[in-house]
Amino acid sequence: MAPDSQLDLFGSAGIDPVVPAEAVDFDAIPLSASVPIPPETYDSIAAITAHCDRCQRCGLSEGRTHAVVGRGNPSAPIAIIGEAPGQNEDEQGLPFVGRSGELLEKILASVNLSTDREIYICNVAKCRPPGNRNPTPAEIAACKPFFLEQIRLVDPQIVLLAGATAVKATIADKRGITKIRGQWFEWEGRLCMPIFHPAYLLRNPSREKGKPKWLMWQDIQAIRRKLDELQAPSV
Ligand code: URA
């Protein structure tokens, strides 16, 4: 199967259960990206983790120390989707634990958001690409059912797409992240917002008005306001 048709299998616009759940060979799932993983395959994040730990749906499995599935509150109102694990994440088996993660935690803390309460974090790709390259379309397609299932199970009100890879794997908006960051979209029936990837902010440290870090500060405040609005008791 060509990489592009694998991507189509899960549909960039949403969940498309081509194959009914009862037709799925669960033992085959870890072995090949051609085995579909329809929605509602898993009943817990632990079950997803068990499959990711032995997944061989793409070549990234060959180089991994750990599959990196997620961290944070599994019932959080906000989920953040990043790109793929780096070296620290691969070693520890947890997403965003290196320098990018440190910055992300600071950004969240600036508006009193925390992975202990409001935030769940995962990545498009569960295994580290060699040399931290971007995951390929075929690798994204092979891994996509896992994060779709994570989002379904966590059931957040808001999904943040950190960087271009997360945008590509979800809303697939062709405009660059600089154009669409800070805007609200609908994806999988949820509110979602593309934001700058923290690694990009590390490379662009200026806090000057209009620069990426300043824009991120506007975005995180808008996200905080939206969460407060969604959680306000209705009168
Ligand atoms: N960058 C990501 O996109 N994800 C991680 O987990 C770490 C760095």
CA quadruple 97, 119, 114, 206: dihedral positive or negative?
positive
Q: Which atom belonging to ligand 1 lies closest to the Cα atom of 121?
A: 6
User: CA-CA distance, 150 to 207, in Å (whole number)?
Assistant: 34
4: pLDDT strictly greater than 60 = no
- Partners of 82 in the β-ladder: 123
Q: Which atom belonging to ligand 1 lies closest to the Cα atom of 162?
A: 3
- Per-residue model confidence (pLDDT) at position 13: 34
- Per-residue model confidence (pLDDT) at position 19: 56
Residues of the domain holding 188: 3-231
Compute, in angstroms, the gap from residue 99 CA to the centroid of ligand 1.
9
pLDDT in tens, 148-178: 999 999 999 999 999 999 999 999 999 999 9
100 touches ligand 1 (CB under 6 Å): yes
CATH number at residue 30: 3.40.470.10
Compute, in angstroms, the gap from residue 6 CA to the centroid of ligand 1.
24
User: CA-CA distance, 90 to 67, in Å (whole number)?
Assistant: 7
Q: How many structural domains is the chain composed of?
A: 1
Q: Which atom belonging to ligand 1 lies closest to the Cα atom of 165?
A: 3
Nearest CA to ligand 1 atom 7: 96
Q: What is the CA radius of gyration of the chain?
A: 17
- Per-residue model confidence (pLDDT) at position 26: 85
pLDDT in tens, 76-118: 999 999 999 999 999 999 999 999 999 999 999 999 999 999 9
User: CA-CA distance, 115 to 62, in Å (whole number)?
Assistant: 30
- In this prediction, residues 49-65 reach a mean pLDDT of 97
